[in-house]
DNA sequence: GACGGCCTGTACCAAGTGGTACATTCCTCG
DNA sequence: CGAGGAATGTACCACTTGGTACAGGCCGTC
């Protein structure tokens, strides 16, 4: 296999950075934490930005997989779909990854060379896919698109809330209100 | 006046960091960009984290002011209120500040010592204030709270979308949909 | 066994980094 | 004027950073 060691390294690095933040992390710090040397990170990822880029790519793949899984629920109603999406995303086990996601998002918005590429897919991938799902459920195309965009924004906004406050009940209530009003 | 030079320095620093990102910024880099020496930043803010903390505090004040201004529109309907809030926030002139806000938010979620304190106010300040406004407009307390939370999340989520895509029309449409369905 | 990819450890480097010590200027108040 | 504190400049420091050079180790193929 080709990128075997590399893939394992990447997974470990993401695991560590999800818990400790990419912020002030140094190659040496990361390497020590995951049991390798900073030399290896440079070897496999070329540079620090290369590592960040690899992480961003991995996050993208993860999201694409989640999206595909969502699409597989062909029989579910719109409300069920929304509820399932929220439940998945509100799961505390995913919080570290999500924190990392938002940290990357923030850096991407500021032009960080490693993170910036994600701006091209963070929104459209989801909006396109959700739009398709909504059209399948009978919504006219333009309304489906606006609804998809609104739903994505809501989930992300509420997740931001949840990650900051930890108040799951409140976030759930707000999301339930969204489902009742919008779907 | 006491913190006169300090306040001016802080304003300049925020202006610069909003455009260039706090990410890889160094004290020397910031200082050079705003026409001072890194020595001065240390003098006035104690340390790099002290500077970040001062920025976070300043962002908090800004948001409190915006919130107060919103509350001043006592006569407006809920829909008008929501529309006004979105229009203010979607103004491109605020985008640099907002990018900085989200970068700080992301770092705060990861435990950055300078940014972390903002987690205590990013959500509750707004939710409390918006809840009050909604109660004034006749909503029962618990429903007002959920609606406030949902509205805040929506605005932030859509802003995240807008900052990433730049697609103002799409974001506007989604927000308009929100207003029709939720208010 | 010799070769040739991959992978990895050691040692090193120049270029910064945040932070400090000390001297100096500036401004205000008596 | 003169004293004294706030503000600023210069020079420095120890340390860390990302990145590189080089020498090997491992391991399957001929």
Å between B7 CA and nearest CA of chain A: 24
Cβ contacts of B181 within 8 Å, gap of 6 or more:
A181, A182
Cβ contacts of B96 within 8 Å, gap of 6 or more:
B18, B19
Q: What parts of chain B have a pLDDT lower than 70?
A: 1-3
In this complex, do A153 and B154 lie within 8 Å of one another by their Cβ atoms? yes
In this complex, do B177 and A146 lie within 8 Å of one another by their Cβ atoms? yes
- In order of their start, the domains of chain B are 2-182 (1.10.357.10)
* C-alpha to C-alpha distance for A9 and B49, rounded to whole angstroms: 31
Local confidence pLDDT in tens for the 183 residues of chain A: 456 789 999 999 999 999 999 988 999 999 999 999 999 999 999 999 999 999 999 999 999 999 999 989 878 999 999 999 999 999 999 999 999 999 999 999 999 999 999 999 999 999 999 999 999 999 999 999 999 999 999 999 999 999 999 999 999 999 999 999 999
Q: How far is CA A51 from CA A35, A103, A114, A115, in A?
A: 16, 15, 8, 10
Q: Return phi, psi of residue B68, to 5°.
A: -65, -40
Cβ contacts of A180 within 8 Å, gap of 6 or more:
none
Q: Which residues of B20-47 are buried (b: 16+ CB within 10 A; e: fewer)?
A: bbbbebebeebbebbebeeebbeebbee
Tell me the residue ranges of DSSP E strands in B78-144: none
| Nearest Cα to Cα of residue A103 among A170, A34, A20, A10 | A20
Cβ of residue A140 closer than 8 Å to a chain B Cβ: no
User: Distance (Å) from CA B108 to C1' C25?
Assistant: 40
Tokens of A147: 């609804």
H or E segment and range at residue B73: none
In this complex, do B173 and A119 lie within 8 Å of one another by their Cβ atoms? no
- Chain B contact set for A157 (CB, 8 A): 152-158, 160
């Amino acid at each position: 296999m080709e990128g075997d060691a590399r893939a394992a390294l990447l997974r470990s690095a993401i695991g560590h950075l999800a818990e400790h933040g990419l912020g002030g992390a140094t190659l040496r710090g990361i390497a020590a934490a995951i049991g390798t040397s900073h030399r290896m990170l440079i070897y496999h990822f070329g540079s620090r930005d290369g590592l960040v880029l690899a992480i961003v790519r991995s996050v993208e793949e993860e999201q694409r997989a989640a999206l595909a899984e969502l699409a597989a629920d062909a029989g579910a109603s719109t409300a069920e779909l929304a509820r399932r999406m929220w439940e998945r995303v509100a799961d505390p086990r995913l919080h570290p990854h999500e924190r990392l996601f938002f940290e990357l998002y923030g850096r991407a918005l500021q032009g960080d060379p490693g993170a910036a590429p994600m701006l091209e897919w963070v929104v459209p991938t989801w909006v396109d896919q959700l739009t398709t799902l909504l059209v399948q459920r009978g919504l006219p195309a333009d309304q489906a698109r606006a609804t998809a965009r609104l739903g994505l924004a809501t989930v992300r906004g509420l997740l931001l809330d949840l990650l900051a406050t930890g108040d799951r009940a409140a976030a759930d209530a707000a999301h339930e209100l969204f489902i009742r009003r919008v779907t």
